[in-house]
Structure 1
Amino acid sequence: MPIYKINKTKAAQISLKEDGFGSEAELRDFFAENLDEILGVRFIEKEYPINYGGIDYRIDTLGIDENNTPVIIEYKWKENEEIFSQGKCYFNWLVKNKPHFELLVDKKLGAKTKVNWEQPRVILIAQGFSRYILGAVQQEKNIELKTYIYYEPDILQIENIYSPAEIKTSKKNGGKREAGEYNLEYHLSITSPKMQKIANSLRLKILELPNVKENFGKSGIFYRTTKSFARLEFRPTWIQLLIREPHYRSDVQQIVKDVTSNEWGYKGMIKFTPDSDVDYVFNLVKESYESTL
C-alpha cells in the first residue's frame, strides 16, 4: 500500500528505500534497540545460543511482552522459506527449557517478573512470506507473521499478516468452551452476575475500537493492537483491569493505581467494581489503546 507525504493540498508518494537495512544483523539490532516501542516487548537477549537435538542454533531475539508472555523473534532481511521451520524449532526449545528462560528473565528484569506460560509467542518478521508459509501458519496457535517496508528517507511500516488472535470469536459469548480451553464463559463464571453484566458492557465497547484482537487465557482476557493495552482479571466481586500507563490526563477521579513496581508489564491498575462508571473506565482504556497506535 503506497504512503504519501502531504504538503498543504499536494500529495507526493514516498519511495521505497531498497537498501533500508544493510543486512539481517542490522535489521535485528534495530529491532532489539526499539523492541518495546515497536512490538511492546521487553528485550532479554539477542543472538542467543542454544543447543536443540544436538544441533547448535542462535535465536535472533528473546523477549517478554506486557502480559509477561515469552516471545521469540526471528528476522529475515528479504523473503526466506527457512524462517517458518526455524520459528517452530525455537518454540519447541523454549517450551522444553522453561526454567532456563525464567533464569534469563530474572537476570535481566529481576525476580519480581513472573513468566506467563499460557501462550508463548513466536513473531516472524520479513519483507514477505511465500504462499506455503501463509498456508501452513493457519493452524498455528503461537506463531505470528509481520512484514516490514522501509520508505525514504527513514520511515518504517510494520504490517500484521497473521496472528492467532484473528481466529474469530462471537462478541456475544466468546464461543463455546471446550475442555482445557478458556473463553468468556469461563471468566464470567468466576465473578458475580452484576459484575458479569458490566464487564461484558466494557468488553463490547473495547471490541468496537478498530483493529483490536481479543485473547482468552487462564488468568484473564487481554486486548491488543500491535501491543497489548488492557487485561481483565476476574475476581468473585470485582475485576482487576490492567492498562499500559500509571497516569492518564482524563483520570480526574484518580482511579488508576500505579503498579509499576510489580513488574507486570502493565503499569496501571483499576479496581473495576459494580459501582464503577463504565463509560469513565472505557475512556481510560481507550487512552491506553491509543498509546499503541
Structure 2
Amino acid sequence: MGRSEGDGVVLRLFRRSGDSATELVGSAVPLERGLQAYVERNMTALLGVRFLDTEVRTGPLHGGRIDSLGLDEDGSPTIVEYKRGRDENVINQALFYLAWLRDHQDAFEALVARRLGPDAVAEVDWSSPRIICVAADYSRYDVHAIGEMNRRIDLVRYRQFGDDLLTLELVASVAGGTARGGSGGGLVVARPTAEQRLAGASEAVRALYDDIDGRLLDFGDVHSVQLKQYVAYRRGPNFASVKVQARSLLVYLRLDPAAVELVEGFTRDVRGIGHHGTGDLEVRITSPAGLDRAEPLLRSAYEAVA
C-alpha cells in the first residue's frame, strides 16, 4: 500500500518527475533487528533522542531487555521499544520497563556519564521520563489506551519505501502526569511547570501564556509537554520552548539566529549560551503586541520541523 491507514493521518508519498506524480508503495513488513540498529545509529536525527545503549538487561526481577535507552533533547530519560508483531503488547511492556528505570536512576545516570560525559548528568530531568513505541501500525485501542495511562508516551508508526526511504509518523502522544523526583527520591505528583511558574507571575503574564499556548497548539499536529523548567511544543522534535518568568515569557525557537534580524530586547542569539529549552533563538515577550510581533517567528519554527 502507498499510504498509512489507521486512526492517524493518512500518509502518501509521491515521486515528482516533471509534471507527473508517481505514488510510492510503502511496506509495513515486521520490524527487523536491522531497522532497530538503523534507528539507534540515527536516533538523534529520527527521534530527537541521544542514543545510550541497546538491549539493556533489567535483571532477574524484571527479567527482560529494554530495546533502546536514550536521553531526549529535554533531558528526559527515554525508553524506545519496537513492536515486531501486530499482537505484541509493546505499550504494556514499555510501562513495565519504565518502572525498572525509575527504580534504577543511579544506574541510568552512570550510563549517561559513560556515553555522553559527566557534565551531561546535570541535564537529566526525572520529572517526565518518556516512552517511544515504534511500530508498523497501531489499533484504535492502543491510541485510546495511552490517554488513560497517565504516562508520557509517543506512538510512532514507520513505513519503508524501497531500500532507501523511511517515514516516521507521530500517531499519538500524551504528556503524562506523575513523575519521580531526583535520584533516589520517592514517587511524587509533579505539578505542571506552567502552574508552578504562573503562580508567581503577574496577571498579564498569565494571560500572555494562555494566548501563546493556544496559538502554538492551533498550528495543528502540535503536542505540548510540561517539563521541570519549561513547556516544550513539538511536532516530532521540539520547535518551541516557553519559559514563564515573573514579568515576561522567554521563548526558545528552533531557528537559525543568523537568518533572523535580531532586535535588542526582543530577539537574541543564544548559541553557546547556557539556557533551558530547545532552540538557538530567544524571543522575549512582554505584551500582546510583542506576541503578535513574534507570531511569524513561531510559525517559521513550526514549519521548519515539518
Interval containing the TM-score (normalised by the shorter chain): 0.7 to 0.9
Q: Per-residue deviation at 1:267?
A: 4.3
CA drift of 1:259 comes to: 4.5
Aligned residue runs from structure 1 range 125-204, under 5 A: 125-130=134-139, 133-140=142-149, 141-165=151-175, 181-182=191-192, 184=194, 186-204=196-214
Q: Do structure 1's residue 92 and structure 2's residue 102 form an aligned pair? A: no
Q: Aligned pair in 2 of structure 1 residues 155, 72: CA closer, same or farther (>3 Å)?
A: same
> TM-score when scaled to structure 1?
0.81
> 1:10-49 counterparts in 2 under 5 A?
10-17=20-27, 24-49=32-57
| Secondary structure, counterpart of 2:58 in structure 1 | strand
Identity %: 24
Residue 107 (str. 1) matches residue 114 (str. 2): yes
Q: Deviation string for 1:216-273 (max 9, x for gaps)?
A: 3443322111111222122222333233356251233372332546485724252624
1:68–1:265 contact (8 Å) kept in structure 2? no
- Residue in 1 that maps onto 2:268: 256
Deviates more, 1:156-165 or 1:283-292: 283-292
Q: Could you say which residue in structure 2 is the equivalent of 1:172? A: none
The alpha carbon displacement at 1:109 in A equals: 2.4
Cα distance, 1:74 vs structure 2: 0.9
1:66 pairs with 2:66: no
Rate the CA distance shift 1:209–1:133 in 2: closer, same or farther, 3 A: closer
Q: Structure 1 residues 81, 130: CA separation in 2 closer, same or farther (over 3 Å shift)? A: farther
Contact 1:243/1:267 (8 A) holds in 2: yes
Inter-partner Cα distance in structure 2 for 1:52 and 1:247: 50
What is the rounded CA distance, in whole Å, between the counterparts of 1:94 and 1:142 in structure 2?
A: 14
TM-score w.r.t. length of structure 2? 0.78
Asked if 2 retains the 8 angstrom alpha-carbon contact of 1:246 and 1:258, the reply is no
Structure 1: which 5+ runs fail to align? 168-178
Change (3 A) 1:201 1:51: same
CA contact (8 A) 2:256 2:280 kept: yes
Greater shift in the superposed pair: 193-202 or 226-235: 193-202
- 1:120 touches 1:142 (CA, 8 Å); kept in 2? yes
- After TM superposition, give the deviation of residue 18 of structure 1 in Å: 6.4
The 8 Å contact of residues 246 and 259 in structure 1, kept in 2 or not, is answered as no
Partners of 2:214 and 2:144 lie apart in 1 by 31
What amino acid is the match of 1:285? L
Is the Cα–Cα contact under 8 Å of residues 246 and 256 in structure 1 kept in the other structure? no
Q: Distance in 2 between matches of 1:18 and 1:122?
A: 22
Q: Deviations over 1:183-230 (max 9, x none)?
A: 755543322233333333333332221211122344332211111122
Runs of 4+ in 1 over 6 A off after TM superposition: none
Question: How far off its partner does 1:49 sit?
Answer: 2.7
Secondary structure in 2 matching 1:32: helix
Change (3 A) 1:39 1:248: farther
Structure 2: 5+ residue stretches without partners: 4-11, 178-188
Tell me the SS of whatever aligns to 1:163.
Answer: strand
Distance 1:252 1:261 in 2: 16
**Alpha-carbon deviation of 1:282?**
3.1
Alpha-carbon separation, structure 2, partners of 1:116 and 1:95: 12
2:130 corresponds to which letter in structure 1? R
Is the Cα contact below 8 Å between 1:59 and 1:74 reproduced in 2? Answer: yes
CA contact (8 A) 2:252 2:277 kept: no
- For the 8 Å contact 1:42–1:64, the answer to whether it is kept is yes
